[in-house]
Amino acid sequence: MAQGEAKTLKYSPVIGLEIHVELNTKTKMFCRCLADYFAKKPNTHTCPVCLGLPGALPYINQEAINKCLLIGLALECQVSSESRFERKNYFYPDLPKGYQISQYRWPLCKNGKLKLSDGTIVNINRVHQEEDTGKLMHQGEDTVVDFNRSGVPLVEIVTEPDFTTSEAVREYAKSLQQLFRYLKVSNADMERGDMRLEANISLRPEGQTELPAYRVELKNINSFSFMVKAIEYEIKRQSEELEKGTKLTQQTRGWDDNKKVTYPQREKEEAHDYRYFPEPDLPEIMISMNQIDQIKSEMPELPLQAQKRLVEKLGITVSDAQILTENAEKLTYFEEAVELAIAEQVSPKQVANEILNRGVDIQKTSIIELVNSLVQRRSAVISDDETIRSWAKEAITENPQAVSDYKNGKTNAIMSLVGSVMRKSQGRADANIVKQLLEKLLYV
């Protein structure tokens, strides 16, 4: 190494994720106050129990427990035969009791997993039940608190530190959002705060297998894009600090999207700092095999199972199947349309192409209208290669971002180009030919 030349160290990110999701139960976790607090007048959905007033005794919402178990089973977790609530002690202005009823040593579900599209297995440490806190609102120089959210059932899903990229975090989080909606346990609306993301990030020298001695937690992020930006910023910040020889410590940080930076909130606590101890006012939860079997029997078909069925039984491409199963409503619409279309000798692939390539609004277009449109156009399909090739070249020129995304491995980006060609042809081009020609042109 030449004199004065800086030594460049390379680091690998170590990322774990915590996702909080509010359950859509009718009442709160430990009382009978209505859990639908959004946009309601502040502090009107409260009672002595969720306000933690002296002498008020909590009791367990069984519907919330069942929905937590449903999430755990969908994530292939082991269900604990015995579980217990604990008091997590910390003093925040949005937590009137001065402690949160949560789970630490005896979670309802543990040791689960979820597979990402590239085959990576994300190991899930725990899925546990707890209660939400109140909500602080800043008004000028004043801060007020609304306790309507306090006590709403909240499930926390904690992964092992298995992530190394922000994009893998995004895929995992979006997969969980999709799962919550399929299971109908939550709206998982991030703008409303139904689902919140937290990431624990640290860096270690490339090749090192031991976990770093510190971790920085990014707290309460309510957007997939914000999470990606925050993680990427934090990796850069920590790398620069380590290069300078700074010893990083446990810390909680927030994300400022206006400044595009993370900022320190407090030194991060360890589990022992919360002084967990069993909640004395709640009984131990006993889960029987009969209860587990009953919940399993009520579990709907999950997204990955639906995708596999569409590919194997209907001949739909993997990429199309992923889009068609984005939510249960779209899948139901597609399957009902296929059932009617087959009777009219219209193939499932044609139905899929109509929905995906022409951007059919399933809220405004009835299934009968969709199928009739396909039948009417069947005799007027354009399959001339040269005509379609001309439209395809125009689409490639007009959509450089989609072209770049496709060439960088985001294969679903080709559907944007297919849709452009279909619009140019007024829906009359053979979508299969369109896609084949685009694939050829993109590799020239």
Phi-psi region of 87 (alpha: psi -120 to 50; beta: other; left: phi over 0): beta
Strand duo 216-221 + 251-256: pairing = parallel
Tokens 């969908």 identify what position?
74
In one-letter notation, the amino acid at residue 7 is: K
d(CA 372, CA 140): 57
Please tell me whether the overall predicted TM-score, pTM, comes out greater than 0.85 for this model.
no
The stretch 275-285 carries a mean pLDDT of 94
SS3 call for 440: helix
Residues 413, 402 contacting (CB under 8 angstroms): yes
Q: In the predicted model, is pLDDT for residue 61 greater than 90?
A: yes
Provide the angle, in degrees to the nearest 10, between the axes of the packed helices 431-442 and 385-398: 60
Tokens 């909590």 identify what position?
58
Residues 402, 441 contacting (CB under 8 angstroms): no
SS3 call for 49: coil
The stretch 256-267 carries a mean pLDDT of 89
The stretch 399-404 carries a mean pLDDT of 90
For 89-109, what is each residue's pLDDT tens digit? 987 788 888 899 999 999 999
Strand duo 153-159 + 11-22: pairing = antiparallel
Least confident of 244-248, 265-269, 384-388, 400-404: 265-269
Residues 81, 108 contacting (CB under 8 angstroms): no
d(CA 148, CA 171): 32
Which residue did the predictor score with more confidence, 341 or 376? 341
253, β-bridge pairs: 218, 264
3: pLDDT confidence band, cut at 50, 70 and 90?
A: very low
Tokens 């934090």 identify what position?
234
- The proportion of the chain whose per-residue pLDDT surpasses 90, expressed as a percent, equals 65
Q: In the predicted model, is pLDDT for residue 4 greater than 50?
A: no
Domains plus CATH for the chain? 13-296 (no CATH), 303-442 (1.10.10.410)
379: pLDDT confidence band, cut at 50, 70 and 90?
A: low
Tokens 């689960």 identify what position?
112
> What pLDDT does residue 373 have?
85
Exposed/middle/buried for residue 224 (C-beta within 10 Å: 0-12, 13-18, 19+): middle
Q: How far apart are the first and last CA of the chain?
A: 43
> What pLDDT does residue 139 have?
85
d(CA 23, CA 387): 52
For 259-312, the DSSP string reads TTEEEEEEPPPPGGGG--EE-TTSPPEE--HHHHHHHHHTPPPPHHHHHHHHHH
d(CA 415, CA 421): 10
